[in-house]
Amino acid sequence: MPITSPHVVTISAPSPGPTVAILGGVHGDEYEGVIAARWLTAFLRSTLVRGTIRVAAPAHPAAWESTSRESPTDGKNLARVFPGSPDGSATEVVAHELTQQLIAGADLLIDLHSAGTNYEMPFLCGFQDDDGNVSKTSRHFARIFGAEFTWRHSGKPAPGRSLSAAYDLNIPAIYTEGGGGRSVRYDELKGYTDGVRRVLHSLSMVEEALPTTSASTFVVGDGNTDIGMPAPTAGYLVMHVETGTQVAQGQIVADIVDSDGALLSRIPAPHHGYLMMRRREARVSTGDTVLIFAAKDEG
Ligand SMILES: [Zn+2]
């Protein structure tokens, strides 16, 4: 039998304080978050001075074992079934266990994702802004995290996410994304661990954290990979710019060509802002999510 339940590690400091919950590997094809969370677990055993840390990495062991976004057991995406169900399918049971054992009772959730097999994203820390106090606190911690981009999404978290499970329990929550592609970049891995340490330092839970080396770019927009900009035609996606690049409205960001290189359609930037996500696989079908943009956050 494969291991299906996530292993939640709890580290308690001698002094009482906040509880911070950390998830890595909600998607089994995202190495960065798992490696960062496990490094932090070892590090915090000797450095946590106040409060409690709960870590589940990999959060979805079955998906991690098969290096896949979804569970090989029931085909489900863990990040679509929170808060889960004790009587549901294997992935729904995992979501339920994480909600009960890791998220419930925490003061902050940090969910370490990356762009996985299918996408590419810059190093970012995101949060949902529904104008409530929980999202104000989430914004505070996202800024302290200090990723290359700080991405604000308007409204409540989409249903089924770890963030939605947290918000439903009035718990602030932030998440990260990074390059993905089943590669791990030193700067991003360090960015994940340094970011968590800055958040913990701001809560007086660790004594030291390195400051950020450059200012974060604040952006706003919908980050849902289920509803990005769709491919207008089938063909091969040819990128003009890299993720994280600043773009002007109307600037051509990608072409779709046929296998002879003939131009089929062009995809312009819908507004001034930044390219925050692109699909990695060049061969696309009509309607596939290929790009996500965000605008500069003036709020
Ligand atoms: Zn993910």
CA of 263 to the centre of ligand 1 (A): 32
Q: What is the pLDDT of residue 299?
A: 72
Q: Work out how many domains the chain is built from and give that number.
A: 2
**Which residues, 6 or more positions from 292, have their beta carbon under 8 angstroms from its beta carbon?**
221, 222, 223, 225, 228, 229, 275, 276, 277, 278
CA of 260 to the centre of ligand 1 (A): 34
CA of 114 to the centre of ligand 1 (A): 5
Same domain, yes or no, for 73 and 153? yes
**Which residues, 6 or more positions from 138, have their beta carbon under 8 angstroms from its beta carbon?**
127, 128, 129, 172, 173, 174
Which of residues 203, 220, 237 is at a domain's end? 220
Check: CB of residue 269 under 8 Å from CB of residue 278: no
CA of 27 to the centre of ligand 1 (A): 5
pTM to 2 decimal places:
0.97
Q: What is the pLDDT of residue 224?
A: 74
Same domain, yes or no, for 238 and 201? no
CA of 113 to the centre of ligand 1 (A): 4
CA of 157 to the centre of ligand 1 (A): 15
Same domain, yes or no, for 267 and 213? no
Going from the first residue of the chain to its last (299 residues), give the mean pLDDT of each consecutive group of 10, the final group possibly shorter. Answer: 83 97 98 98 98 98 97 97 97 98 98 96 98 97 98 96 98 97 96 98 96 94 80 97 97 98 96 96 96 92
Query: Could you tell me which of 193, 196, 39, 32 has the C-alpha nearest to residue 115?
Result: 32
Q: What is the pLDDT of residue 280?
A: 97
CA of 239 to the centre of ligand 1 (A): 23
Same domain, yes or no, for 191 and 133? yes
How far are the Cα atoms of 28, 84, 115, 124, 135 from residue 120, in angstroms, in the given order?
16, 28, 5, 12, 26
What's the CA dihedral at 70, 25, 50, 82 to 10 degrees? -10
